[in-house]
Amino acid sequence: MSNFFNTLGVDGCPAGWVSVHLKNHNEWCIELFTSIQELWDVHHHSTLILIDIPIGLRDGETTPRLNDSAARKYLTRKRSSCIFPPPCRQALRAPSYEKANKINKNLTEKGLSKQAWNICSKIREVDDLLQNDQTARDVFIESGPELSYCLLNNNQPLKHYKKTKEGFEERFSILKSNCLSMTTPLDSRLTNYKRKQLCIDDIMDAWILAIRASRGKSNLHVIPDNIEHDSTGLPMRIAF
């Protein structure tokens, strides 16, 4: 593992954002932040942050992002539903779901799912940071927990939804088999955070990204092969 002390996995959660990283050679550290700017203020020295949030948006084109299409293909029909189209940039800052849905439909010929709308505020947070901080652009990379689980499961999509008992066991087995730690980020959650702040699956998603990030950029898989950039220069890619 290279520079693993300066790499993070990050996912959204009810309280804001949860990050996981190696504190030393065998101890995983979990932190909770109210905003992505707060996280960056603390971890601006990081060399790689894998984050489960769309980075790089269409400006109203009808063609979906190529990285989303490639991710769905990789996950097959078993888990492709976890990859949903983000809003176009013009719809991102709409004041309501109804207006965002209308803008998205007018410009892309496709409506905006409630699932996508529910993370619009988090997409805005990350987009604002990356528009204003060039250094952050070089560190944050969009990632996907289900893609990482699939990769570490011999390229086989997982069978069960993550919020089920079977889904938890399936993912936890992969997590434990890919780290040497005797303790897990879940232990910290049980003693330090309330359920309304932080869900178990949020921690697990950040943890799998932290495991992949700790192995360095050179060991990441990146899709698609031909990376597009949006109108602001952000790459539309997914690493795992």
Residue 88, in any domain of the structure: no
Domain CATH number, residue 148: 3.30.420
Residue 180: which pLDDT band, with cuts at 50, 70 and 90?
A: low
Nearest-angstrom CA–CA distance, 100 and 92: 7
* Number of domain units in the chain: 1
* 65 neighbors 110 (Cβ within 8 angstroms): no
In this prediction, residue 61 carries a pLDDT of 87
Q: Is the pLDDT of residue 4 over 70?
A: no
Q: Both tokens of residue 130?
A: 């990356």
Read off the pLDDT of each residue in 43-56 and give the average, rounded to a whole number. 97
Instruction: Classify strands 7-13 and 16-24 as parallel, antiparallel or unpaired.
Output: antiparallel
The mean pLDDT value for 20-40 works out to 90
Is residue 44, in this structure, part of any structural domain at all?
yes
Q: Give the pLDDT of residue 189.
A: 62
Average pLDDT in the 77-97 region? 92
In a domain, 76, yes or no: no
Q: Phi and psi (nearest 5°) for 94?
A: -65, 145
Q: Is residue 120 predicted with pLDDT exceeding 50? A: yes
The torsion of the CA quartet 119, 120, 121, 122, rounded to 10 degrees, works out to 50
Which ranges of the chain does DSSP label H, i.e. alpha helix? 36-42, 66-79, 89-92, 97-108, 114-118, 120-132, 134-137, 145-152, 165-177, 185-192, 200-214
Q: Which two tokens stand for residue 226?
A: 């031909």
Burial of 130 from C-beta contacts in 10 A (0-12 / 13-18 / 19+): buried
Q: Using one digit for the tens of pLDDT, what is the confidence trace for 187-205?
A: 766 566 777 788 899 999 9
Is 15 part of any domain? yes
Asked whether residue 180 is domain-assigned, the answer is yes
Average pLDDT, the chain: 92
* Mean pLDDT, residues 89-107 taken together: 96
Quick: pLDDT tens for 141-165. 999 999 999 999 999 999 999 999 9
Segment among 21-35, 62-76, 120-134 with least mean pLDDT: 21-35
Q: In the prediction, which pLDDT does 2 show?
A: 44
Does 228 reside within a domain?
no
In a domain, 167, yes or no: yes
Tens digits of residue pLDDT in 7-21: 999 999 999 999 999
Give the model's confidence band at 179: pLDDT under 50 very low, under 70 low, under 90 confident, else very high: confident
Q: Is residue 193 part of a domain?
A: yes
Full domain range(s) for residue 8: 4-52+142-219
Tell me what percent of the residues of the chain surpass a pLDDT of 70. 94
